[in-house]
Structure 1
């Protein structure tokens, strides 16, 4: 068996999409609880763009190769693999990095058996987005039946996942924001959100949220935007509400003139989080919750993995450029033949 494999790397360590290229690198060797997986497909995430540009703090244990989610077939194990897996098993999983390659060595604690009802492409789009959404609403947002929730960047893969998770727990209302009327129509018609608001054309979207909730506001907000939504979030959130910050696409500096008064007046909890920097034990608990809560719904089609476009991995540059366009509604997947 060849000691090398093909992988996608970045010329000079960082750069634009055109800096991506394929090359031969050493094939990883599984150790401890790891399995060696031959990759069939991998999913793109916004962190890949930031890492490519040198703007993402990569965990010390992560491969310099991009990619954290994948599907594939187990070829071998380290010495202490989790029970329930064997050579030849079809799996999908979450890694700290290294998925833009023919093979990956990843902890078996972060692998899930691939259901026959789902394709390789669909499974490659589940781990990062659905586990992130699970973490945001349950572990941090403490979401429960009867709550209302608003997802910013509603057309993103994490929000598409989170909206479906939200509907599964009898909410009083699921809401979203995007910067596109077309995306908003999609969210209302296809995913059943109660209302979706265009933050690009409406400067008063928080007022629209209050109107839609009879003045109460929403119990939970999941935010990837940051600076532009910080102040309006404080208006749109209900008393004793929870705001979960997962990113700051519009910047990390709080705009001038934003009052902190609502923090006390409404007893708001505003908490930031990330997934990739978490240890394996924390991520493993989320994997278990995904398997118990979501996997049966994938099998019977109550939950859907929205795939925007599938590329051959030879066209990874085009895949990155499509993600940069911010025009997608769902996952971008690359397949390896």
Structure 2
């Protein structure tokens, strides 16, 4: 119906079973925005938290789930700068609204889809890859030759961070919850991997680095890993916390140990950043990383898609992520 669209929705916070598909008003692009018809979107941990009522969208963002999308430009808002035209294939970093047939996106948060890439693969890029790129370059300021310990190494961000480390000349190591996930990480370029369920990754990381440790730790887990993180953090290391899957409640002498290492803890969230910041991030990523998604160079970047669900099966997609069964991104196909 004209002016309407289908979108993922929930009426009250709770489990995946609360999700359903609802007809809602189609967004109208504002000044400096374009309207994208979405062909594919993808899940992120933030979607699960929002569904549970634990992560509200930033002010002004859509209340609809979905932080990334891939599709086609179908309309331009007033005051467009000529960067995009109707018919362009784009992927988008958004504060919400991706799990729907249409989404309005600021012009600076769009990335052109490489001509030989599918919408499914493109939908797996914006949030995960821009998060990983931001953590490594904007936050941790990774340098060539540094060692990076990546928690959840088989996740969307993890699989992106491994490849971006190699592109930057850094050495990635990972933790993951199964030998199968560690093998996937190694195939993508991880130097080594540790099963956090069965191994002491703090000790193993030190052994793997001749007792030097990791220069950078990318941590989406938090409290359950803090002691081992400090154990294997190199002197003057940067411990970047961007998620709290293992809680944020720490009981212990964190500060003394951190001080002894002269370490830094840096908190980072992408969703709540300003449009200006996101546009700068998109520009840097487009210039430095996007060309490497086209095969032929010495390093070929590739999004890792775990599974694809039709939008109407979004409860099943959420359940798969909640059960930690995915390796890479879970993608939603949006009906046209």
Smaller-chain TM-score range? over 0.9
Instruction: Report the 3-state secondary structure (helix = DSSP H, G, I; strand = E; otherwise coil) of the residue aligned with 1:13.
Output: coil
Is 2:67 the partner of 1:32? no
Aligned residues of 2:83 and 2:107 also touching (Cα < 8 A): no
Please give the alpha-carbon distance, in whole angstroms, between the structure 1 residues aligned to 2:204 and 2:5.
Answer: 53
Aligned residues of 1:218 and 1:238 also touching (Cα < 8 A): yes
Please give the alpha-carbon distance, in whole angstroms, between the structure 2 residues aligned to 1:82 and 1:219.
Answer: 41
Please give the alpha-carbon distance, in whole angstroms, between the structure 2 residues aligned to 1:156 and 1:215.
Answer: 27
Aligned residues of 1:37 and 1:105 also touching (Cα < 8 A): yes
Is 2:262 the partner of 1:270? no
2:225 corresponds in structure 1 to: 229
1:177 counterpart (168, 175, 178): 175
Aligned residues of 1:231 and 1:258 also touching (Cα < 8 A): no
Instruction: Report the 3-state secondary structure (helix = DSSP H, G, I; strand = E; otherwise coil) of the residue aligned with 1:241.
Output: strand
Please give the alpha-carbon distance, in whole angstroms, between the structure 1 residues aligned to 2:72 and 2:318.
Answer: 25
Aligned residues of 1:71 and 1:93 also touching (Cα < 8 A): yes
1:196 counterpart (193, 198, 202): 193
Aligned residues of 1:41 and 1:335 also touching (Cα < 8 A): yes
Please give the alpha-carbon distance, in whole angstroms, between the structure 2 residues aligned to 1:57 and 1:8.
Answer: 16
Q: CA deviation at 1:232?
A: 1.2
Instruction: Report the 3-state secondary structure (helix = DSSP H, G, I; strand = E; otherwise coil) of the residue aligned with 1:284.
Output: helix
Please give the alpha-carbon distance, in whole angstroms, between the structure 2 residues aligned to 1:141 and 1:315.
Answer: 37
In structure 2, relative to structure 1, the CA distance for the partners of 1:66 and 1:193 (3 Å cut) is same
Q: CA deviation at 1:165?
A: 0.2
2:204 corresponds in structure 1 to: 208
TM-score, normalised by the number of residues in structure 2: 0.96
1:300 corresponds in structure 2 to: 295
2:307 counterpart (306, 309, 327): 309
RMSD between aligned residues: 1.2
TM-score, normalised by the number of residues in structure 1: 0.96
Q: CA deviation at 1:259?
A: 4.2
Size of the alignment, in residue pairs?
A: 332
Is 2:80 the partner of 1:84? no
Q: CA deviation at 1:175?
A: 0.5
Please give the alpha-carbon distance, in whole angstroms, between the structure 2 residues aligned to 1:211 and 1:5.
Answer: 54
Q: Deviations over 1:4-63 (max 9, x none)?
A: 1111110x2322111111111111111100111111000111110110110113201111
Instruction: Report the 3-state secondary structure (helix = DSSP H, G, I; strand = E; otherwise coil) of the residue aligned with 2:272.
Output: coil
Please give the alpha-carbon distance, in whole angstroms, between the structure 1 residues aligned to 2:81 and 2:215.
Answer: 38
Aligned residues of 2:239 and 2:266 also touching (Cα < 8 A): yes
